[in-house]
Amino acid sequence: MELGLAGKRALVTGAGSGIGRSIALALAAEGAMVAVNDVNEAGIAETVAAIRAAGGRADGCAFDITDLDRVQSRVDQLSTGGALDILVNNAALLVGHAPFMETSPDSWRREIDVILFGTLNCTRAVLTGMIAAGSGRVVNVISDAARVGQEREVAYSAAKGGVATFTKSIAREVGPAGITVNAVSPAATNSPMRQHALKEIEAKIGVERLAEREQKVRRAYPMRRIGEPEDVAAAVVFLCSSAARHVTGQILSVNGGYSMVG
């Protein structure tokens, strides 16, 4: 199937590792020119190198998505050759894996600033060009934690829930301009964020209890596996493609059947 992504200009946030890197690689493999965003410049360099090594086109684009002025400035620079065609809001932050009553307002703000305000900032910055062009694709990476809840990740889940609602609301506003806005919702995925959380849990409960916990987690999934970043990337590529031209305001679960919400 021809996905119509060759020559499209894409910005992927949080693409220095994990799911974001897989998304950037997948878009580049379909011929898109990818601006790789992160605050981790070493991670950006690795992603750009991997894309170029595979024959794709990519450039690094380091900036803090929580700073609207900075975001707008960099998007303006990226748009000098024409409006961006694709925005993937993937960047996220999980400060810790702890009960809500043990967390602090500072940690809540950090997670909400990156996940929710970062998505708002980047979307705001790209929409002017997309509206003028009469086309565009925005894909937000949320989480099943936002849809069914997740203990010990309360502020993170709340921020992702905000992005889910934003997805549907902004899709209604910009649909008449030919722009689609959708979200992909993974459950547990073997990303660096998850691996970091598992190390924290292991330090508290030990290797054997963590292994038992992971077995229980897998039994909650009909597919009996934890997702990989490439699973999420495939769904994002579809939503960015011409094949999804009539899909907007939707949340696509990529979760091995963990939750089957309507």
Q: Which residue has the tokens 């409960």?
A: 205
pLDDT tens for residues 49-106?
A: 999 999 999 999 999 999 999 999 999 999 998 999 999 999 999 998 899 999 999 9
Domains annotated for the chain, with CATH where assigned, are: 9-187+229-251 (3.40.50.720)
Q: Pick the catalytic residue from 23, 86, 156, 170.
A: 156
Q: Count of CB atoms within 10 A of residue 215's CB? A: 9
pLDDT tens for residues 45-63?
A: 999 999 999 999 999 999 9
pLDDT-derived band at 262 (thresholds 50, 70, 90) equals low
Torsion region of 238: left, alpha or beta (phi above 0 gives left; psi -120 to 50 gives alpha): alpha
pLDDT tens for residues 106-158?
A: 999 999 999 999 999 999 999 999 999 999 999 999 999 999 999 999 999 99
Longest dimension (CA), the chain: 57
Residue-level pLDDT at 195: 74
Confirm if 229 and 186 have CB atoms less than 8 A apart.
no
What does each C-alpha distance from 54 to 30, 110, 188, 251 come to in angstroms? 11, 35, 28, 30
Is residue 156 part of the annotated active site? The answer reads: yes
Task: Name residues whose C-beta falls within 8 Å of residue 215's C-beta, 6 or more positions apart in sequence.
Answer: none
Tell me the backbone φ, ψ of residue 182, rounded to 5 degrees: -140, 170
